[in-house]
Chains A and B, each alone.
Chain A
Amino acid sequence: SQQGEEDPQALSIQEGENATMNCSYKTSINNLQWYRQNSGRGLVHLILIRSNEREKHSGRLRVTLDTSKKSSSLLITASRAADTASYFCATAPQVAGKLIFGQGTTLQVKP
Chain B
Amino acid sequence: EAGVAQSPRYKIIEKRQSVAFWCNPISGHATLYWYQQILGQGPKLLIQFQNNGVVDDSQLPKDRFSAERLKGVDSTLKIQPAKLEDSAVYLCASSPPHGLGNTGELFFGEGSRLTVL
Contact = CB atoms under 8 A, between A and B. Distances in A.
A87 to B, nearest CB: 10
B43 A101 contact: yes
Interface residues of A, number: 25
Interface string B73-117: 000000000000000000101000000011111111111000000
Contacts of A35: 106, 108
> For the complex, would chain B's binding face be called helix, strand, loop or mixed by DSSP majority?
loop
Contacts of A45: 105-107
A42 interface: yes
B63 to A, nearest CB: 19
Given A2-B42, A4-B42, A102-B42, 16 more contacts: A1-B59, A31-B103, A35-B108, A41-B110, A42-B4, A42-B93, A42-B109, A43-B108, A48-B105, A97-B48, A98-B56, A98-B103, A99-B103, A99-B106, A101-B43, A103-B42
Interface of A: 1-2, 4, 30-31, 33, 35, 41-45, 48, 88, 90, 92, 96-104
Interface of B: 4, 33, 35, 41-45, 48, 55-56, 59, 91, 93, 101-111
